[in-house]
Chain A
């Protein structure tokens, strides 16, 4: 491998003062200003047009928030390229370099930046913010539930907090791995210089950022959204204008997820390095593609249901209103047609990331590579046919109970394969117990419990008891928080040195791990017990017979929050002042560890040529190598 210390780095290019055109003047502050001004203008116009009409409030809210989102993205520069194109102005190479962040130092993190690593980092920060907000709301929920007749929160505030906690966490978990790591790491893994559509990539993050204020704002509109994150109609049709803001949040989020999903798929389809055949793709790349594709299937249903929800509220249609011929079952169907695949949009990328972690820290090839990719595909395929298990007790289509029981229980076969592959990879491995590996073991424990409790819920007669009670709450926290988020934490600790350029303080990290591991069990085991005894979920007050379980669960939840805060502390402190990370601290074979840290713009100083699969641990000879770097000059010009 040739060293290239004499080759100038792209990011050191000196640009002229005109480079970037309008991008030079745009950042998050101009975005906020443009958004606010446009929103105020549209508010004034719609208010005067619809004033006094039956739908004035809803129409005004919808138009104003749409204007906010459009204005924010105008202000940040999302539409610059399109506008230049329409005006017939070609962007120069210098403009593109400016948009990629050249010469802007840290300021580029506050700008529309097409560098996939900057976008990935922006996603990471957003995920932390969302988890912090969602976690704080969870603390308020658990404080309310410390005692049976608590009046810490009013019932209305409690319901709106339950709603926003749910939606905040759902958004955060959907993007927690597909945002930061499918953007930062995945392109490097396949040997690409960036994503296939760098501008769409920057768009996906700024669009979702513009949606977050809409979500938070629901607290300040008409007493919030009171229908839970599932916003079942017709209850949600009764809600105040906060529900309009909620629907706009979802619609904008769907745009972001769609753009990001297409980008991921096209990147993997077209941007792989020489020799990176599909059979040599790291498992995480497969996970990102399958998760992204599943998102493309799921999200349109969310879009349609939210648009018709807005129509019901702001224009007097009656898709979901019984008195107008509508039916709430329509909402429940479209919601869960999105909602169940979405669970696997959340789960597949982090689990795939975790499998990279396991191969590296067991020093072994991934066990049954093709089988696990087949399992991911099988989960994705089955997951679009299971939605009505959320509706077993609604009374809708009783004759379909059997078929949906079948599809739901079938999904445990590919899910079981994931366990087989993890155990197979650990089998006779050289287990290197660094911090990421701790989270792998915690995942195994949590996810087997989450999985087993799911089989009771998949069974119609048993679900007729458990549905809508705390058992369900505990079950999906075991799968999504204990499963997906813990797998995501394994990925985060694994890739932290590459993303931040620093080593994570594992001493503090392990303290955080143990607090999280124990507090999590206390919190949700207590909820399993309350649920088994018959406590309904989403209640602000409860029968005193559930007091002990709830008290214990609340204490566990406080400790859990402390655990995550300690982990956050370790991350922040390490990011600021940790030891500088070598390029490949784990001696891993995948490509992202074979570029310098910090990763230069366009990632590769020399084009990589992939010669084998990325898991040749313990192999001898050529099978052990994944990649070679051939300097352009040596080959007389790389093709």
Chain B
């Protein structure tokens, strides 16, 4: 015998007339599930909006803004899907659960619905459309991030167990704190002296690994003044938890001052910055 009957209603009719889907019953199922689905979708949308703004760090760069909007949009797209799965499974418990009765005897068999081509088709189509949407959204976001703007600032980032070093090659300045100017694209050229680290300026919404012997690159454009933290996102040994640095987005003028100040006595000020960073971290 065939193991799947694409046309379920015909099959059910042939197999057992008393089990024929009751149109009224089916209508009730669909109506209640649709209502549940709408309510749950609304809850999902509210949660998406609230959680995205409440949990993710406020946007300090174009890239972090992108992360926030991506999370929001994906959550909104997922809400109806999640709501549908939850609505049908909750409804199955409410409406179709059979009281155990005598504990060891199963309830009578349900109608043998072996498949439904229309349902499968709609499901496949919907999920494919969603996947295409996710992909297009992601790719456009990603390609926008690949654009190199003129007059960008290059910062060399070197990870070592368990400290971050930042070098501003044009100004010949070394620092243990990361200072970047507002509104100007920054390119980080990242490498490592020993093992793999993960360079992650958290509130700037970008990260890339620091690999020994290789240079990797990310770019961010800071859009808001303020403080951020650079963390290590790759387990890198004993004090991985303590591998972080302090960072600031400052005005162009303050940035010039920072470079001049550090340029005068790079070694001393690097030490000062390190101490400040250590104290700030605790």
The chain A residues found within 8 Å of chain B, CB to CB, are 155-156, 159, 162, 226-228, 230, 232, 234-235, 238, 279-280, 322-323, 327-329, 361-371, 393-395, 401-402, 405-406, 409-410, 412-413, 416-417, 419-420, 423-424, 426-434, 441, 444-445, 448-449, 452, 455-456, 458-462, 464-465, 467-469, 529, 532-534, 536, 538-543, 585-587, 612-613, 615-620, 622-623
Q: Of A327, A449, A458, A465, which is in contact with the most chain B CB atoms at under 10 Å from its CB?
A: A465
Give the docked Cα–Cα distance between A585 and B105 (Å).
8
- Set of chain A residues within 8 Å of B190, measured between Cβ atoms: 395
- Set of chain B residues within 8 Å of A280, measured between Cβ atoms: 3
Contact A155 B203 (CB under 8 A): no
- From B74, B114, B209, give the contact of A395 (CB < 8 A): B209
* Interface membership of B185, Cβ < 8 A: no
* Interface membership of B97, Cβ < 8 A: yes
User: Could you tell me which residues of chain B, from 184 to 208, have a CB within 8 Å of some CB in chain A?
Assistant: 190, 194-196, 198, 200, 202-203, 205-208
Of the candidate stretches B135-143, B249-257, B261-269, the one touching chain A is: B135-143
Contact B120 A371 (CB under 8 A): yes
Given A362-B110, A393-B209, A431-B96, also A462-B74 (CB < 8 A) = yes
Give the docked Cα–Cα distance between A585 and B102 (Å).
13
User: Could you tell me which residues of chain B, from 84 to 102, have a CB within 8 Å of some CB in chain A?
Assistant: 85-86, 88-89, 92-93, 96-98, 100
- Set of chain B residues within 8 Å of A458, measured between Cβ atoms: 134, 138
Enumerate 12 A-B pairs (CB-CB under 8 Å) in ascending A order.
Answer: A235-B195, A280-B3, A363-B108, A416-B123, A423-B92, A427-B88, A431-B98, A461-B70, A468-B198, A469-B233, A533-B55, A616-B112
- Set of chain A residues within 8 Å of B119, measured between Cβ atoms: 420, 424
Distance in Å: Cβ of A493 to nearest Cβ of chain B: 15
Contact B211 A395 (CB under 8 A): yes
Closest residue on chain B to residue A619 by CB atoms? B112
Contact B234 A232 (CB under 8 A): yes
- From B3, B123, B211, give the contact of A369 (CB < 8 A): B3
Closest residue on chain B to residue A616 by CB atoms? B112
Closest residue on chain B to residue A506 by CB atoms? B103
Contact A618 B110 (CB under 8 A): yes
Closest residue on chain B to residue A414 by CB atoms? B127
Distance in Å: Cβ of B194 to nearest Cβ of chain A: 8
Give the docked Cα–Cα distance between A538 and B109 (Å).
50
Give the docked Cα–Cα distance between A68 and B81 (Å).
52
Q: Of B19, B29, B81, B234, which is in contact with the most chain A CB atoms at under 10 Å from its CB?
A: B234
Closest residue on chain B to residue A277 by CB atoms? B3
Contact B107 A363 (CB under 8 A): yes
Given A536-B200, A540-B241, also A455-B115 (CB < 8 A) = no
Contact B242 A617 (CB under 8 A): no
The chain B residues found within 8 Å of chain A, CB to CB, are 1-4, 15-16, 19, 21, 29, 51, 55-57, 63-64, 66-67, 70-71, 74-75, 78, 81-82, 85-86, 88-89, 92-93, 96-98, 100, 104-116, 119-120, 123-124, 127-128, 130-131, 134-135, 137-139, 141-142, 145, 190, 194-196, 198, 200, 202-203, 205-209, 211-214, 216-218, 229, 231-242
Give the docked Cα–Cα distance between A618 and B108 (Å).
8
Contact A433 B198 (CB under 8 A): no
Given A363-B108, A416-B127, A532-B55, also A461-B66 (CB < 8 A) = yes
Distance in Å: Cβ of B131 to nearest Cβ of chain A: 5
- Set of chain A residues within 8 Å of B75, measured between Cβ atoms: 452
- Set of chain B residues within 8 Å of A238, measured between Cβ atoms: 195, 237
Contact A428 B110 (CB under 8 A): yes
Give the docked Cα–Cα distance between A413 and B112 (Å).
26
Give the docked Cα–Cα distance between A191 and B261 (Å).
81
Give the docked Cα–Cα distance between A428 and B22 (Å).
11
Distance in Å: Cβ of B73 to nearest Cβ of chain A: 10
Contact A464 B213 (CB under 8 A): no
Given A369-B4, A416-B127, also A426-B108 (CB < 8 A) = no
Contact B70 A617 (CB under 8 A): no
Distance in Å: Cβ of A111 to nearest Cβ of chain B: 36
- From A430, A459, A619, give the contact of B134 (CB < 8 A): A459
Contact B112 A455 (CB under 8 A): no
- From B63, B89, B205, B229, give the contact of A441 (CB < 8 A): B89
- Set of chain B residues within 8 Å of A406, measured between Cβ atoms: 135
- Set of chain A residues within 8 Å of B124, measured between Cβ atoms: 413, 417
Closest residue on chain B to residue A461 by CB atoms? B141
Given A159-B238, A369-B114, A533-B55, also A412-B67 (CB < 8 A) = no
- From B108, B196, B231, give the contact of A232 (CB < 8 A): B196
- From B98, B120, B205, B235, give the contact of A432 (CB < 8 A): B98
Given A362-B110, A465-B205, also A585-B29 (CB < 8 A) = no
Contact A534 B203 (CB under 8 A): yes
Given A365-B114, A409-B134, A462-B71, also A429-B241 (CB < 8 A) = no
Contact A402 B142 (CB under 8 A): yes
- Set of chain B residues within 8 Å of A456, measured between Cβ atoms: 70-71, 74
Give the docked Cα–Cα distance between A326 and B210 (Å).
15
Distance in Å: Cβ of A414 to nearest Cβ of chain B: 9
Give the docked Cα–Cα distance between A428 and B111 (Å).
8
Distance in Å: Cβ of B208 to nearest Cβ of chain A: 5
Distance in Å: Cβ of B82 to nearest Cβ of chain A: 5
- Set of chain A residues within 8 Å of B29, measured between Cβ atoms: 428
Contact A541 B96 (CB under 8 A): no
Q: Of A370, A532, A534, A623, which is in contact with the most chain B CB atoms at under 10 Å from its CB?
A: A534
Contact B207 A534 (CB under 8 A): no
- Set of chain A residues within 8 Å of B196, measured between Cβ atoms: 232, 234-235, 328, 394
Closest residue on chain B to residue A614 by CB atoms? B3
Given A226-B238, A235-B235, also A459-B3 (CB < 8 A) = no
Give the docked Cα–Cα distance between A586 and B116 (Å).
27
- From A433, A465, A536, A612, give the contact of B64 (CB < 8 A): A465
Give the docked Cα–Cα distance between A401 and B140 (Å).
12
Contact A430 B88 (CB under 8 A): no
- Set of chain A residues within 8 Å of B237, measured between Cβ atoms: 159, 226-227, 235, 238
Given A156-B238, A235-B235, A419-B85, also A327-B96 (CB < 8 A) = no
Contact A465 B85 (CB under 8 A): no
Closest residue on chain A to residue B200 by CB atoms? A468
- Set of chain B residues within 8 Å of A417, measured between Cβ atoms: 120, 123-124, 127
Contact A468 B15 (CB under 8 A): no
Contact A462 B70 (CB under 8 A): yes
